[in-house]
Chains A and B, each alone.
Chain A
Amino acid sequence: MQDLNHLLTAAFVISLLTSGIRLAIPIFLAALGEIITERGGVLNLGLEGIMLVGALAGFMVAYDAEQLFAPSWLWLTPWLGLLAGAIAGMGMGLIMAVLAVSLQTDQVIASITLVIVGQGATTYLFRQQFGSLTARIHPLPAVPIPLLAKLPVLGEVFFQHDLMTYFSIVLLVAAWYFLYQTVGGLNIRAVGEHPAAADTSGINVTAVRYGAILIGAAFAGLGGAVLTVAQLGIFSEGITAGQGWIAIALVIFARWRPGLAFGGALLFGLATALQFRIQALNLQFIPYELLLMLPYLLTLLVLLRGTRRAEAPAALGRPYSKE
C-alpha cells in the first residue's frame, strides 16, 4: 500500500504527464493529417508506410546535416530533418493521389500498397545507407518557456518540452482554422460530402483531393520524423511499430474532428505512460497483459461514446468521375 501513495506525489504526476504527451504527439500528427484527407473524401490507410518514410527521411537528412554543418549551425539540423520528413511524406502522398484520384483505383488497396512500399523502401535504404544501428543524431532539446516553465507542476508538465511539441499544438489550431474557417477547408469538406455538387458549383474536385491527400501525408511524414528526429535520435527498421494504424482508428473514433483526435491521442499516450508506471510499481493484483490493453480499451471506451450517428464524410472512399 505504501506503493499506492506513490501515485499521488507531484513527481509521479509530472513524469506521467510529460511521458504521455511525448507518446501522443506522433500519433496525433498522423491522425490530424488523416482527418484532412478523409474530410476530402479520400481514405488513406497508408499512414504506417508514410510515417516510416518520414521517419527515415528525417533521420537521414538530420544525420547528413550534422556531418556537414559547422557547430554554430547544428541547432538547425533537427528542423531540416523534420521538414524532410514532411516533404518525403508528401512524396508518398503524391503516389496515393495519382492512384486514388487520377487513376481512380480502389482507395483501400492503393493505400495499403503505400504501407508495403514504405516498409520495403525504408528497410532497403536504411541498410544501404547505414548498415547497422550505430548511427545516432542529436534529438531536439527541451526548451523551457520563460516564466511559464517556472510554475509549480504545470510548468514542468506543459512548458518544458521540445519546440516540436508546442508546434504540434499550433498545427492543431491551424488545421482546425483551415478546415472550418477558410474557403480551402470548405472546399475540402464539400468535396468529401458531395463531390458532384461541389463540381457543379465550380470546385475542381481533382485538385482539392490532391491537396487534401498531400497535406495529410505531410502531417503523417512529420509524425514519423518527430519519432526519430525530435524524440529518439535513432532509426531502426519498423520503428513506427503500428502507430500509423492506431492513428487511423483514432480518426474514426474521434469522428473526424481535430480537437477530439488530439484528446484521444493524449488519452492514449497518458494511458500507455500510466500502465508502464503501474507495472513498475509492481501491483501484483493486476496481470500485466491487462495493463497492456489499458490504453486501447480506455481510448475505445471514451471515444466510442456517442458515435451512434455515423459522421463519416458521405463520399469517403469513393472515387469521383464526371461521367
Chain B
Amino acid sequence: MNKRIFHWAGLLVGLLMMAACVQPGAPAAEATQAEATPAAAGVATAPSIALVLIGPKDDNSWAASAYSALEAQKAKGAKTAFSESVSDADAARVMREYVDQGFNIIIAHSFSYQDATFEVAKDAPKVNFAWAGAIGKTDKNVADYDQPFYEPAYLVGILAGYVSKTGNLGALYGFDIPSCHAMGEAMLAAAKTINPKANLTVTAVGDWGDVSKAKEAGLAQHDTKGVDFWIGCGEGPTLGSIEAAKQAGGYTTGYVGDMAKLGPDVVMSSIVWNMNPIFDAIARDTAAGTFSGPYYQFGVKDDALDVVINPALQDKVPAEALAAIDKARAAIKDGSLKVPFVPQ
C-alpha cells in the first residue's frame, strides 16, 4: 500500500516538474546557426554580433524585432550569428559558445536571461553584452535597453478614443507586470483625452502563450463589459485578442511588430519596435571602445517605437484620429508631451 502511495506521489511531483519545464521550441543546439560572413577587408574593428532569442525569429513580434535589427547590422558588414528558442537554462551555455567563437557583442534578448548574462559577462570581460532588462541594471560590460511600449500605447489610445463605439477598452496581459500595466494605463489616459467616458478593463490571462485562454478572456471582457477595442501585452494575449475581436466584433492592436496580416479586419494598428537605434549604439560604442555598461533608452522620440495603421482598415480610421496621433507623436518628440508611466 505504502509503495503505491509513493508511486503516485512521485508521479505527481514528476508531472508538476514537467509542466514547469514545458517550453515551446526546439533545443538550442539544433537551432543554433552561425551565419559567418567574411569580415570586410580593412575594417579591423568591425563589430561581430551574436543574438540570443527566447522564441522563434519569425514570431512577427518580440524576437523578430531584434532579428531584423541584426540583419541590418549584417548588411552594414558586421559578422552576425543568432540562436532561436533558447531556454533560460541553456542561455549561459549558448553565450559561452559565442564568446569562444570570438564574437565581441552578445545581445541576450530576454528579461529572463538576466542571471546567465551577468554570469557569462563576468568571465568574459572583453566581450560587450546587452540584455533586455528595461530596469537600468548594468555592469561594466553589460548594457541594458529600455522598452517603453507605453509610449506608443498612448498613441493607440488616441485611436481607441475615436474608434471605440462603447468607450470600453480592454487590455490582456500574460501577467499584470509593470511594463504591461503601463501600456494599458497609457492607452486609457490617451483615450480619455478624446472620450472622457473611456474606461479600461484589465485581465491577466495567466500564460504568455495560451491563445485559447486569451481568446476566452477577451470574449469575457466583451460579454461582461462591452469591450470593443483591445490591446495585448505578450504574444499569446495579443493573438487571443485578435481571435476575440474577430468573433465579438471590434478592433485590436498588434504587439511589438506589424500584425496587420494576422487579422486584416481587426488589427487596426500595431506597435512596432525598431531596434536599429539600440544595435547601432552598441556597435558604435564597441567600435569606439567607449562601451561602459550604458542603459540605452530609446522611445518614440528616437523613432525606436511607433504605431502603424493597418492599410486595409485605413478607411475606418477618422481623419481627426490620424491628425491627433501625428500631433501627439510630434509633441512627444519635442518634449512638450510626457506620456504618463503607471507601472502598477
Contacts and interface: CB of A to CB of B under 8 A. Distances in A.
Does B associate with A? Answer: yes
Contact of B216 (A127, A272, A281): A272
B8 A310 contact: yes
B204 interface: yes
Nearest to B227: A280
B192 interface: no
B212 A123 contact: no
Interface stretch (A66-74, A212-220, A233-241): A233-241
A237 B201 CA distance: 28
A99 interface: no
Contact of B223 (A15, A115, A133, A292): A15
Contacts of A233: 243
B130 interface: no
A124 interface: yes
Contact of B220 (A45, A131, A227, A276): A276
Give the contact-size bracket for chain A.
35 or more
Contacts of B22: 48, 115, 119, 238, 241-242, 245
Contact of B211 (A22, A239, A252, A279): A239
Interface string B212-250: 110111011101110100000001100100010000000
Give the contact-size bracket for chain B.
35 or more
A234 B239 contact: yes
B27 interface: yes
Interface in A28-85: 43, 45, 48
Q: Is the interface of A mostly helix, strand, loop or mixed?
A: helix
A133 B262 contact: yes
B260 to A, nearest CB: 10
B220 A237 contact: no
Nearest to A7: B224
Nearest to A295: B206
Contacts of A133: 58-60, 239, 262
B221 A236 contact: no
Contacts of B12: 249, 252
Interface in A220-278: 227, 231-234, 236-239, 241-242, 245, 248-249, 252, 272-273, 276-277
5 A-B pairs with least C-beta separation: A238-B24, A241-B210, A15-B223, A276-B220, A292-B206
12 contacts: A19-B220, A45-B15, A127-B58, A241-B212, A241-B213, A241-B236, A242-B210, A249-B15, A273-B220, A277-B220, A279-B204, A312-B8
Interface of A: 6, 11-12, 15, 19, 22-23, 26, 43, 45, 48, 108, 112, 115, 119-120, 123-124, 127, 131-134, 227, 231-234, 236-239, 241-242, 245, 248-249, 252, 272-273, 276-277, 279-282, 288-289, 292, 310, 312, 317
